[in-house]
Amino acid sequence: MLTECGKLYVVATPIGNLADMSFRAVEVLKQVDLIAAEDTRHVKMLLQHYGITNKLISLHQHNENKASSVLLEKLRAGQSIALVSDAGTPLLSDPGMPLVKMVKDAGLDVVPIPGACALIAALSAAGLPVTQFSFEGFLPRTSSARKAFFSERVLSPKTWVFYESSHRILASLQDMAEILPLDRQIVIARELTKLHETIVKTGLGNALELVEQNDNMRKGEFVVIVDGAVADKKEQIITAEQEKLLKVLLRECSIKTAVAMAVEITGVRKKLLYQAALAMDKEKDA
């Protein structure tokens, strides 16, 4: 007699407020044979709150390829498994993709149990357009990589969203302010659903000043939402002569110096020239 394969349940958990746990999520976690968790110690507190005593197995970024193979065999043997992250919906900047892909490729069922998600929670309260948006996950760790990241998106008409940590939020905003106009509307959402939840919508310049001056605005977990650019063809391109000048300067100077000199000579906006210089530098290294 063939054993019926088990199902993998992708279960969203609260991002702060435990009351955001859905009834369905609780029932699934009680009924499955095994719960795969990013941090078993962290998840134990949630399970204890709801009286859930099922067995836990660790599935994190350092072991997920090996652990996923083990879990797939358990599913094939008929066991049901729930996948949870530390908070929110698994796979959104959290471990789990190798397991879900492996299970789908094997033709087994993956069942979503929807619930809390910091990305969607922030967008719902942001007051910025959400018909089209892009989620960028966590930003690069270095300043130069972040500036390149911002330069690639400075003219995007879509709203874009990223996560940031407490120890990099100020540096990220400082880098952003070097590339984007200071009046660009952004939303900083921190500690969503928690006691010190804060959602601020303002211009980039004001947001940077707020984070610099208020220690509390550098604490917690952050979702940052950036308004899309307003199309302006005159601001999107530099002339052939300006491009030629910038290329000559880049042969002899650093990007920062070349851009500064080009601004002095041409009067073109610094951010536009900086973006063009980064693109030229990228083409040179390609």
Q: Which pLDDT does position 275 carry in this prediction?
A: 86
Cα 71 from chain centroid? 27
Q: What phi and psi values does residue 34 have, to the nearest 5 degrees?
A: -155, 145
Say if strands 222-226 and 185-190 run parallel, antiparallel, or are unpaired.
antiparallel
Q: Which pLDDT does position 231 carry in this prediction?
A: 61
Helix, strand, coil percent values for the chain (each to nearest 5): 45, 15, 35
Which amino acid, one-letter code, is at 23? F
Q: Please indicate, yes or no, whether the overall pTM of this predicted structure exceeds 0.85.
A: no
Q: In CATH, what class is 119-226?
A: alpha beta
How does pLDDT run across 264-280, given as a tens digit for each residue?
A: 888 888 888 888 888 88
Q: Which residues contact 158 (CB under 8 A, 6 or more apart)?
A: 132, 133, 134, 228
> What is the sign, positive or negative, of the torsion defined by CA atoms of 148, 152, 155, 156?
negative
**Domain residue spans of the chain:** 8-116, 119-226, 233-285
Instruction: Give the percent of the chain with pLDDT over 90.
Output: 73
How does pLDDT run across 170-226, given as a tens digit for each residue?
A: 999 999 999 999 999 999 999 999 999 999 999 999 999 999 999 999 999 999 999
Q: Is the pLDDT of residue 1 over 50?
A: no
How does pLDDT run across 108-119, given as a tens digit for each residue?
A: 999 999 999 999
Mean pLDDT of the 16-35 span: 96
Residue from 171, 170, 161, 62 nearest 120 by CA: 161
Which numeric CATH code is attached to 8-116?
A: 3.40.1010.10
The residues facing 35 across adjacent strands are: 56, 82
Which secondary structure element, helix H or strand E, spans residue 284, and what is its range? helix 270-285
Tokens, residue 37? 């968790």
